[in-house]
Structure 1
Amino acid sequence: MDAVGSVVLSLDAELGWGFHDLVDPPTERVESGRRGWNAMLELLEEFDIPATWAVVGHLMLDSCDGRHADHPAPEGWFERERGEWQDREDLRFGPDLVSDLLESDVDHEFASHTFSHVLFGHPETDRELAVAELECSTAIAEEWGCSFESFIYPRNEVGHRDVLAEYGVSAYRGWTPNREGVRAVFDSMVRDRSLLVEPYIDEHGLVNVPASLFLFGFEGSARSIAESIWTDPMVALARRGIDEAATSDETFHMWLHPNNLTTERDDQRMRAILSYLDRRRSESDLTVETMADVAQRVRHSRGIDGTPTRVDTQAKASWN
């Protein structure tokens, strides 16, 4: 059987943890995390499109002291949690949202986005800290009756891949330069460069599923101007990537954060992309995969066994 092209959609699900270390976090996006999470779940259910949801492990807690004394985080790492956001449980915890994800009728993949959004690529993040983040994420996932096979690096800062391999991770989202914003539009539309990527097994035995396109990298006045004279550039790029995948045997991997959906305008962008993906899937051999699906496929193509990690059906039944 001939290979067919595929589309992967991954989401960095983090609520306040995506911004807690910033001096001046973007208020609109901080406050949109829950709204965007629910909007994306609804859209994905409407079009029956499975996605890889990389969840910050701390969101799966019901409560904490804000100190995490046994965690080898650098001084001040949890300061905002026990200070400015002490009374903002909606930013620090999200067990209700995670339950909605795991109970979805769509077969989403549950993945890891670390425990507290530690930047693995920073020089300050040593191996001890990386191990602690994986240990905490694994432990809280097990308490929920699930596990993860895929890992998405906060802010796409790749590092400590050996630790991922040690803790049983099979796949991660690698970073592809020039795949967002004006540069992505120029390279694809003007230079006619492909948006497709080729997943591969790296030297640690992990499957790198590179990013093709960040769906919210063209915003502000540039987006408004483009829409007034043409169309939403990110919708155009996403459709182009989907079309490329539909006529090839390669992969188009788009990604976003739920908190990118701050208004109905952003919802409309995602609706346009997902509805187009659904249509192209129905009229061609195009498949929609999760990162775990890709990892399994790549491993099998190399003669390596691998089974994608999905929510355990018995555990899922217990949540209903």
Structure 2
Amino acid sequence: MDENGVLTLSIEVELAWGLKEGGYYLCLSKERKRETEILESILELCEQNKIPITFDFVGHLLLEKCDGDHNHGHQQGWFDEDPASDVDKDPLWYAPDLLDRILDSEVEHEIATHTFSHLWVDEISPEVLRWELEKVNEIHDKLGIKRPVSMVAPQNRVPPYEPLRVSGIKVLRRCPEDKVTSSKIKMLWNDLFSESPHEKPVLKDGILESYGDHRATLTANYLPHGRKKAHPFYRFLPISKEYWVERQKKKLRHELRDVITQTQHIHLWSHLWEMSNRWQMEIFEDFVGFIGKQENLKVKTMRELWEDFNR
């Protein structure tokens, strides 16, 4: 690892696949117009500042169309909401155009995997996970792009590592165990006062673990996410959105300064849909501009973390 601070940015591209349970895909814009526009803005900012990002795609989004027949040992009903159509009819479930735009960027971004169907990796058999990852490899091969070597498991759950190794996955973003909590109060506390892990990647069971927080850190949890309102706790506080925006800007800058001073590594992340409003994008634009001005900082994709580890 460099004698510099190292920053990794990852953005999960999951759209309706990540929000299908409970109908939360209503948080997305109609025909994903807003999410498409925001991706364009993200890529433009990255080009201006020469910053690479790891984009973690749900594999199904890379399809132009399908017949909905994907069940290979998945739990009953797992694919029931798959529209079995195409990108023109259901752009929340298919998004090959987003991939094309990323690949056309002047910056070489990484295309990683978020499984094929946003699978709960700790609730299924290793065989099903292996099928999902091999399906993603098959799609990448057909598209003529590099097979993924990096993975982010849905909801930051911890998968069995053997299917990852067999399928060519080398790097996994995961949350340190002491950061995982189901307590709503602890989550609110972490939003306000906790920092992201400042830890260099570690090789465990043949997989390089890159440590990120359990909750999104590129975006502010006290602000709306896409079309989804902020948590009621924050909505009822007599504090303006502008205050929270400035608070998050300062928080990200402070954390990055610490990482540079400590010559440590930090992995910040969010979902594309969460970034899809003006408050979250104001934060991202400010942070990217700040990143671009740092001299003792390297911005590396998850793939580059693995390549550096093996030098």
8 A contact 2:200–2:265 mirrored in 1: yes
1:218 to 205, 214, 222: 222
8 A contact 1:37–1:259 mirrored in 2: no
Letter of the 2:122 counterpart:
G
1:57 to 52, 56, 59: 59
Say whether residues 1:253 and 2:267 are aligned partners.
yes
- Say if 1:228 and 1:36 are closer, same or farther in 2 by CA, change over 3 A: closer
8 A contact 2:127–2:163 mirrored in 1: no
Report the 3-state secondary structure (helix = DSSP H, G, I; strand = E; otherwise coil) of the residue aligned with 2:310.
helix
Report the 3-state secondary structure (helix = DSSP H, G, I; strand = E; otherwise coil) of the residue aligned with 2:168.
coil
2:201 to 199, 202, 210: 199
Structure 1 unaligned runs (5+)? 189-193, 301-320
- Say if 1:11 and 1:2 are closer, same or farther in 2 by CA, change over 3 A: closer
Q: Please list, as runs of the form range in 1=range in 2, the aligned pairs for 1:273-284 lying within 5 A after superposition.
A: 273-280=287-294, 284=295
Q: What are the superposed Cα offsets for residues 181-222 of structure 1, whole Å, 9 maximum, x if unpaired?
A: 54143134xxxxx741221000x2110001056223333263
Please name the residue that 1:317 is paired with.
Answer: none
TM-score normalised by L of structure 1: 0.81
Please name the residue that 1:105 is paired with.
Answer: 106
Instruction: Provide the aligned C-alpha RMSD in A.
Output: 2.7
Say whether residues 1:295 and 2:306 are aligned partners.
yes
TM-score normalised by L of structure 2: 0.83
Say whether residues 1:42 and 2:44 are aligned partners.
yes
Q: What are the superposed Cα offsets for residues 84-137 of structure 1, whole Å, 9 maximum, x if unpaired?
A: 999842011111111111121101111111111111122xx1112101101100
Structure 2 unaligned runs (5+)? 182-186, 224-229
After the TM superposition, which of the residue ranges 96-105 and 71-80 deviates more from structure 2? 71-80
Shift of 1:174: 1.0
Letter of the 2:49 counterpart:
F
Aligned residues: 287
- Say if 1:226 and 1:197 are closer, same or farther in 2 by CA, change over 3 A: farther
Report the 3-state secondary structure (helix = DSSP H, G, I; strand = E; otherwise coil) of the residue aligned with 2:81.
helix
What is the alpha-carbon distance in structure 1 between the residues aligned to residue 243 and residue 278 of structure 2?
A: 20
Shift of 1:65: 0.9
Q: What are the superposed Cα offsets for residues 126-161 of structure 1, whole Å, 9 maximum, x if unpaired?
A: 112101101100000011112111111111111121
8 A contact 2:245–2:280 mirrored in 1: no
What is the alpha-carbon distance in structure 2 between the residues aligned to residue 159 and residue 234 of structure 1?
A: 31
What is the alpha-carbon distance in structure 1 between the residues aligned to residue 174 and residue 137 of structure 2?
A: 21
- Say if 1:273 and 1:126 are closer, same or farther in 2 by CA, change over 3 A: same
- Say if 1:161 and 1:44 are closer, same or farther in 2 by CA, change over 3 A: same
8 A contact 2:113–2:151 mirrored in 1: yes
Say whether residues 1:149 and 2:149 are aligned partners.
yes
8 A contact 1:17–1:56 mirrored in 2: yes
8 A contact 1:172–1:207 mirrored in 2: yes
Please name the residue that 2:192 is paired with.
Answer: 185
Identity %: 26
Report the 3-state secondary structure (helix = DSSP H, G, I; strand = E; otherwise coil) of the residue aligned with 1:74.
coil
Shift of 1:226: 6.3
Q: What are the superposed Cα offsets for residues 224-283 of structure 1, whole Å, 9 maximum, x if unpaired?
A: 826555753332221112111221221011001111123222211110111111112xxx
After the TM superposition, which of the residue ranges 228-237 and 73-82 deviates more from structure 2? 228-237
What is the alpha-carbon distance in structure 1 between the residues aligned to residue 54 and residue 245 of structure 2?
A: 28
8 A contact 1:218–1:234 mirrored in 2: no
- Say if 1:143 and 1:181 are closer, same or farther in 2 by CA, change over 3 A: farther
Please name the residue that 2:226 is paired with.
Answer: none
Please name the residue that 1:308 is paired with.
Answer: none
Say whether residues 1:285 and 2:292 are aligned partners.
no
Say whether residues 1:240 and 2:242 are aligned partners.
no
Letter of the 1:107 counterpart:
E
- Say if 1:232 and 1:114 are closer, same or farther in 2 by CA, change over 3 A: same
Letter of the 2:4 counterpart:
V
